[in-house]
Structure 1
Amino acid sequence: MEVIINSILSQMQALLSGSQLKTLKNVLVCTLSNQTCSAASDAEADLLTLFLTAKEVEGCSPKTIAYYKSTLEHMTTALAKPYTQVTSDDLRAYLSGYEAQRHAGKVTIDNIRRIMSSFFSWLEDEDYVVKSPVRRIHRVKCAQVAKAVLTDEELESIRSSCTCARDLAIVDVLASTGMRVGELVGLDIADVDLDGRECVVTGKGNKQRPAYFDARAKLHLSEYLEARTDDCPALFVSLKGEPRRVSIGNVEARVRELGRAASVERVHPHKFRRTLATHAIDKGMPIEQVQKLLGHAKIDTTMRYAMVDQNNVKASHRKYLE
């Protein structure tokens, strides 16, 4: 058996890199010996670890890394074969089975496809596989559903339901900046320039950008900060017990409570972000500037957030085409 393996490796030496030859040798040993090769299994785990480390170096958040890890570990267990032997048909069957068994939506399936594409493209770039099997799997078409945004009346109702300066400041900052809830809770007092009505937020990938708020947000932020007597550096702190930075869960829960008190359905921090994007587009802000405002790396993401008001489309049709 060893003679056969060495003969194959020598013939493939001109076509494969050192790492690929090593992987090929492991596969041949496992296949020809008809046994499960522990060394190959360890190699698979090592490759996944190396990939996750690479994503961490690129600046992916711990939450994203954990999502990548769980998704790829599930795929690896389900396929039960070395990455070098995975084919496009294997991955299509996996995605189809996942969708059927878990009743997953098209968006979820496309997210899994994107993660697999990132992983196998990395394996290809690092010469662990000759060609990524995901190349032949096209993007999953997802229905574009126009998600609801907050009306001016609903925003005012939510503001009226606030019972403390902190909550009012949180609502106004979310509504006027469109920042992510994770960016909101990460803000320090030192990051805010009240006179300039702007602040520096740290977004995905630890990228910093300026965010701008309106006069109403400035007024309520000033009132909230003037009432603070603690020395916690965080901009928004808990109301009970020793002041400490609020968490994402704290803000999400509080915003839901404010929505229920105002009789507004499905209120969450991200809805303020979508509302800002939609209103900005409706009022004529160039999409490139909305992209910068929201901190999106790709303009396609901005377009998914901003659903143009149909009334504006109707008015434009009458103005330009009638």
Structure 2
Amino acid sequence: MENARELVIIKTMYDFQETFEDIDKTKVRGILEKNLCDYVLVNQSTALMASDMKEKIIFFLRIKKLEGLANDTLESYYHTLNEFSKHIIKPAAQINTNDIRTYLYTIQSENDIKKTTVNTKIIILKSFFKCLLEEELIKKNPMLKIKTMKVDKRSLRTALTIEELEKLRNACKDIREKAIVEFYYSTGCRLSEPLPIEISDINWNECSLIVVGKGSKEREVFFSKKCKLYLEEYFKTRKGDSQHLFCGIKKPYAALSDSGIQKIVKKIAKRTDIKKNIHPHILRHTFATLALQSGMSESAIQELLGHTNIDTTKIYAKISKSNLQYEYNKTMIA
């Protein structure tokens, strides 16, 4: 069945991305489609209720694909909705608000996941059931009364101190790791923004490049002289002929994905004694916080980070004050 075949491809792509540091997703998808085209795949589950949700999920993902969502986003949607369907064994039309509240309470209490993770699941479920309602596949949207959890925005802006940043830099073992850490710190880019960039897109004279941020808005970002040296050495010494900014170390030397960058940063962080949760986005927070401490204006940081609202940038000013106090206390021995 075509639905089952597409489900296998999406699930396999997700599993590959979670397991391997870097893959050429276009080639892998092509190989899967080629090898599965002559086979009829049937889900072992024959329960009417289970198959109803699987079909609805595939229907939803196809619509989102036609809307232009990236494969990474589709795979994330699949993972969230597939997990949801395993908890609530009902036809989509019979799922009610209480079912969803019970599900959200269960996953948060049993797995102790963050509020931000729960909110991501809520947003995906809202999109899913809204789509089913608009397509007249269900008569009532069970997500209408479900609200995202309140989150202290300041808690989302954890930054590294100067000392912690140096520890992370010193933990890098090769030139690729050094280039990745320095690039994300010195540009303040979001995780996925530089991934489509090719070497020819870099303005070496100005140490800058154009990235596409949220809302498909272009902006110019800059990188440090230290980052320039690391990038130049990395491009000269790496294997393969990939033109992407960061790529794998094994054939076919494909461009690194979001998860590939995340795994590298996590690997570097494990070599340190930093207690904070280290991820690529914390380098963006660190850039903003340290830039404020150094006297850069909020409006300039807003422009560099691609914030639509200056209030988002102002959050860093509050964090910067606490970090300044930490640095002051550390310096003033007596």
Range into which the TM-score falls when normalised by the shorter chain: 0.5 to 0.7
Q: Match for 1:214: what amino acid?
A: S
Unaligned regions of 5+ residues in structure 1, if any?
A: 1-35, 315-322
Displacement of 1:207 after TM fit?
7.1
The aligned counterpart of 2:286 is 275
1:190 to 168, 185, 200: 200
Q: Indicate if the aligned counterparts of 1:198 and 1:210 stay in contact, CA closer than 8 A.
A: yes
Evaluate the alpha carbon distance shift between residue 200 and residue 262 of structure 1 in structure 2; reply closer, same or farther with a 3 A threshold.
Answer: same
Q: Match for 2:59: what amino acid?
A: L
Give SS of 1:48's match.
helix
The aligned counterpart of 1:110 is 119
Matches for 1:2-21 after TM superposition, within 5 Å = none
Q: What is the TM-score of this pair, normalised by structure 2?
A: 0.63
Q: Which has the higher contact order (CA 8 A, sep 6+)?
A: 2
The aligned counterpart of 1:75 is 84
What is the aligned-residue identity percentage? 31
Q: Match for 2:146: what amino acid?
A: I
Evaluate the alpha carbon distance shift between residue 306 and residue 135 of structure 1 in structure 2; reply closer, same or farther with a 3 A threshold.
Answer: farther
Evaluate the alpha carbon distance shift between residue 187 and residue 150 of structure 1 in structure 2; reply closer, same or farther with a 3 A threshold.
Answer: same
Give SS of 2:143's match.
helix
2:108 to 99, 124, 131: 99
Give SS of 2:319's match.
coil
Give SS of 2:205's match.
coil
The aligned counterpart of 2:181 is 171
1:218 to 216, 225, 228: 228
1:251 and 1:37 mapped to 2: Cα distance? 40
Cα deviations across residues 132-181 of structure 1 (Å, max 9, x unaligned)? 22111222223553654222344345445556554443332111112244
The aligned counterpart of 1:284 is 297
Q: Indicate if the aligned counterparts of 1:278 and 1:309 stay in contact, CA closer than 8 A.
A: yes
Displacement of 1:201 after TM fit?
3.6
Displacement of 1:265 after TM fit?
4.8
Q: Indicate if the aligned counterparts of 1:58 and 1:205 stay in contact, CA closer than 8 A.
A: no
Give SS of 1:59's match.
coil
Cα deviations across residues 230-249 of structure 1 (Å, max 9, x unaligned)? 6432334556x779346356
Q: Match for 1:89: what amino acid?
A: N
Evaluate the alpha carbon distance shift between residue 262 and residue 91 of structure 1 in structure 2; reply closer, same or farther with a 3 A threshold.
Answer: closer
1:124 and 1:218 mapped to 2: Cα distance? 51
Cα deviations across residues 175-229 of structure 1 (Å, max 9, x unaligned)? 1112244444543211211113222345679876543223443344345445668
Evaluate the alpha carbon distance shift between residue 89 and residue 279 of structure 1 in structure 2; reply closer, same or farther with a 3 A threshold.
Answer: same
Q: Match for 1:174: what amino acid?
A: Y
Matches for 1:246-261 after TM superposition, within 5 Å = 247-248=256-257, 251-252=261-262, 254-256=264-266, 258-259=268-269
Evaluate the alpha carbon distance shift between residue 305 and residue 182 of structure 1 in structure 2; reply closer, same or farther with a 3 A threshold.
Answer: farther
* Stretch deviating more after TM superposition (297-306 or 191-200): 297-306
Determine which structure has more spread, i.e. the larger CA radius of gyration. Answer: 1
RMSD: 4.1
The aligned counterpart of 1:199 is 209
2:97 to 83, 88, 101: 88
Evaluate the alpha carbon distance shift between residue 232 and residue 102 of structure 1 in structure 2; reply closer, same or farther with a 3 A threshold.
Answer: closer
2:284 and 2:51 mapped to 1: Cα distance? 44
Evaluate the alpha carbon distance shift between residue 276 and residue 54 of structure 1 in structure 2; reply closer, same or farther with a 3 A threshold.
Answer: farther
1:57 and 1:300 mapped to 2: Cα distance? 34
Displacement of 1:312 after TM fit?
8.5
Equivalenced residue count is 275
